[in-house]
Amino acid sequence: MTPFLQLIFVLTIILFASKLGGYLTSRIGQPAVLGELLVGLLLGPSLIDLTHLVFITDRHLGEVVAEFGEIGVLVLMFLAGLELHFSELTRNTRVAAFSGILGVLTPVGLGLLAGRMFGYSFTNAAFIGLTLGATSVSISAQTLMELKVLRSRVGLGLLGAAVFDDILVILLLSTFLALSGGGSALDIFLVLLKMIAFLSLSAAFGLWVLPKLSRRISKMPISQGMLTFSLIIMMIYGLAAELIGGMAAITGTFLAGLMFARTPEKNQIEPGLRSLAYSFFVPIFSVNIGLSVDTHLLNLNALW
Amino acid sequence: MTPFLQLIFVLTIILFASKLGGYLTSRIGQPAVLGELLVGLLLGPSLIDLTHLVFITDRHLGEVVAEFGEIGVLVLMFLAGLELHFSELTRNTRVAAFSGILGVLTPVGLGLLAGRMFGYSFTNAAFIGLTLGATSVSISAQTLMELKVLRSRVGLGLLGAAVFDDILVILLLSTFLALSGGGSALDIFLVLLKMIAFLSLSAAFGLWVLPKLSRRISKMPISQGMLTFSLIIMMIYGLAAELIGGMAAITGTFLAGLMFARTPEKNQIEPGLRSLAYSFFVPIFSVNIGLSVDTHLLNLNALW
């Protein structure tokens, strides 16, 4: 098999398994995303090791699948933003800020404590805490959307908290690096400045330029013009979040979704985005999480 | 930049450039696909060399983009099949067979002749002819669809001819290999047998199993279930064409489209497929054709 046929083979298995897994868990009253994660675990190195089957000779196949999945989570967070109104999110600022801050401080504090108790130095223990501080919002967002409670008070609080979380962890990490000798106070200031630059630039573009641009593009005779335009803007926001803001790309695409949610063209892009997301990229994302877990590395004896 | 961000950067440029190029050529009354091919040429090694810009450190990026493009042409031919009725295509069998056969014999004959005139041995000259015999149907199909003449007599004849073309070139190539000592008469028979096996298996599945399966899947509570199902079937047909039939994967996905065209669920999958195809995968396919052309390799002095 050529590398391309190997990719098609693996994608066929992933799409089939994820929809089957999702269907089965939804039949027993659980979110479909649970089944998708579970089949990923079965297809991963723990059991079947899909990307290393005997006839898979392309050593980069796993990376390519992971990249499809990463595009999936970008689109997923874009859709999550698209379902919300900016005003709804800001109305819940207090809840979001409070839970975001607690959601970082608790794991960081507990991680630090545990690290110290196991005899690590303060620096190492703090680092353990910080790695536990970052929350994965993508699976929560997917579950909230599936259960149709993303726009509830709980859903909005959760997503808002995730944005605070992302900002706070990066600030803490750079502060930590500065204090432990890896950087200076100027570095912390610079990190803060970059975030502010990204957030204000992307908000300004989204509030003032995007609506006019969307209106013009939507009238142009380009096949799937609005949908492609929204994907381009989504990717630019993701890139800008990483390159300008030093933040996560999904924070950027979430913001892009929030911006598009305010335009009347939102309704033109949503059905196509859903097709793109849920028929192809998002199932690959969910399964790929499982694919990257190797349960053999879990030392169950350590529990005793 | 991480490899993933490099990919996102390159995809952003490709999507933007292809839609811009397509828009510009459609403004001057030409098919959009022409503009997409042209911007591909500009972005390729001939001028900008997009996948080798200074900050692109991922040496596999070009391959990944090519794989996205190859998925694009699979979906494109699937859509082409979906727009047709099986009966329409078979009604034009005579036109298709005649033009398909002529479309192979003419370039093969002329290539052979030219090879002999330039002093190549018969074997080498015949090989030159055979490489010219295979027709690229994908760009024709895209143009026909864009101009909305795919279902005209000319469009149907062209697509049917392409299927004959694929079959004939493979038969000629294996006959040629057998005659030139690389195989036996049994090999030719085997090649023929594999084709017949694939075509009859896929027709049987498509005519008898697919309609029932589609009806069941369409009633299941799976998000984008029908669309994902059609993508899975499409990829299986593509794989089977290559692995069982020894034919091109696009012949397989075209056949899969023809089969789905007969089901009532066709209308459920077509809008989503169009979104998937024309907002993302097909533009990458068109641009990637240009990306793989290096005009520096054209020796213009040889014309004199």
Residue A28 pLDDT: 95
- Is the pLDDT at B92 greater than 90? The verdict is no
Give the nearest partner residue to A236 out of B12, B74, B232, using CB atoms. B12
* Distance of alpha carbon B74 from alpha carbon B147, whole angstroms: 20
Confidence tier at B146 by pLDDT (50, 70, 90) = confident
- The answer to whether the CB atoms of B12 and A283 lie below 8 A apart is no
Most confident of A114-118, A162-166, A297-301: A114-118
Q: Residue B224: what residue type?
A: Q
Residue A148 pLDDT: 85
CB of B289 closer than 8 Å to CB of B21: no
**Which of A63-67, A133-137, A211-215, B123-127 has the weakest average pLDDT?**
A133-137
Contacts of A23 in chain B (CB under 8 A): 220-222, 225
**Model ipTM value:** 0.92
Residues A239-248: tens digit of each pLDDT: 999 999 998 8
More confident residue, A76 or A164: A76
Give the nearest partner residue to B223 out of A67, A74, A278, using CB atoms. A278
- Is the pLDDT at A137 greater than 80? The verdict is no
- Is the pLDDT at B304 greater than 60? The verdict is no
Give the nearest partner residue to A228 out of B15, B146, B231, using CB atoms. B15
Over chain B, what is the mean pLDDT?
90
Name the A residues in 218-237 with CB < 8 Å from any B CB: 220-225, 227-229, 231-232, 235-236
Which pair of tokens denotes residue B142?
A: 């895209």
Residues B195-230: tens digit of each pLDDT: 999 999 999 999 999 999 999 999 999 999 999 999
Give the nearest partner residue to A4 out of B16, B67, B221, using CB atoms. B67
CB of A83 closer than 8 Å to CB of A146: no
Confidence tier at A62 by pLDDT (50, 70, 90) = very high
Q: How far is A142 from chain B (nearest CA, A)?
A: 12
- The answer to whether the CB atoms of A23 and B220 lie below 8 A apart is yes
* Distance of alpha carbon B25 from alpha carbon B4, whole angstroms: 31
Name the B residues in 173-212 with CB < 8 Å from any A CB: none
In angstroms, what CA-CA distances link A237 with A197, A232, A249, B17?
Answer: 13, 9, 8, 18
More confident residue, B73 or B188: B73
Share of chain B above pLDDT 70, in %: 97
Q: Is A134 exposed, middle or buried (0-12, 13-18, 19+ CB in 10 A)?
A: buried
* Distance of alpha carbon A14 from alpha carbon A26, whole angstroms: 18
Smallest Cα–Cα separation from B237: which of B247, B227, B224? B247
Residues A32-59: tens digit of each pLDDT: 999 999 999 999 998 899 999 999 998 8
Over chain A, what is the mean pLDDT?
90
**Which of A205-214, A295-304, B125-134, B221-230 has the weakest average pLDDT?**
A295-304
Residues A171-226: tens digit of each pLDDT: 888 788 777 766 677 888 888 899 999 999 999 999 999 999 999 999 999 999 99
With H, G, I as helix, E, B as strand and everything else as coil, classify residue B87: helix
Q: How many CB atoms lie within 10 A of CB B53?
A: 14
More confident residue, B185 or A22: A22
Residue A85 pLDDT: 80
Residue B303 pLDDT: 59
CB of A102 closer than 8 Å to CB of A275: no
In angstroms, what CA-CA distances link B114 with A221, B103, B109, B300?
Answer: 45, 17, 9, 19
* Distance of alpha carbon A117 from alpha carbon A184, whole angstroms: 29
Residue A183 pLDDT: 67
Question: What is the distance, to the nearest Å, from the Cα of residue B125 to the centroid of all Cα atoms in its chain?
Answer: 26
- Is the pLDDT at A114 greater than 80? The verdict is yes
The domain ranges of chain B are 92-183
* Distance of alpha carbon B5 from alpha carbon B8, whole angstroms: 5
* Distance of alpha carbon A281 from alpha carbon B7, whole angstroms: 15
Residue B15 pLDDT: 98
- The answer to whether the CB atoms of B222 and A249 lie below 8 A apart is no
Name the A residues in 268-287 with CB < 8 Å from any B CB: 271-276, 278-280, 283
DSSP B161-207: HHHHHHHHHHHHHHHHHHHTTSS-HHHHHHHHHHHHHHHHHHHHIII
Residue A304 pLDDT: 56
* Distance of alpha carbon B206 from alpha carbon B196, whole angstroms: 15
Confidence tier at B265 by pLDDT (50, 70, 90) = very high
Q: Which residue of A has its CA nearest to B221?
A: A23
Which pair of tokens denotes residue B65?
A: 């983009």
Mean pLDDT throughout B233-247?
96
Residues B1-22: tens digit of each pLDDT: 899 999 999 999 999 999 999 9
Residue B4 pLDDT: 96
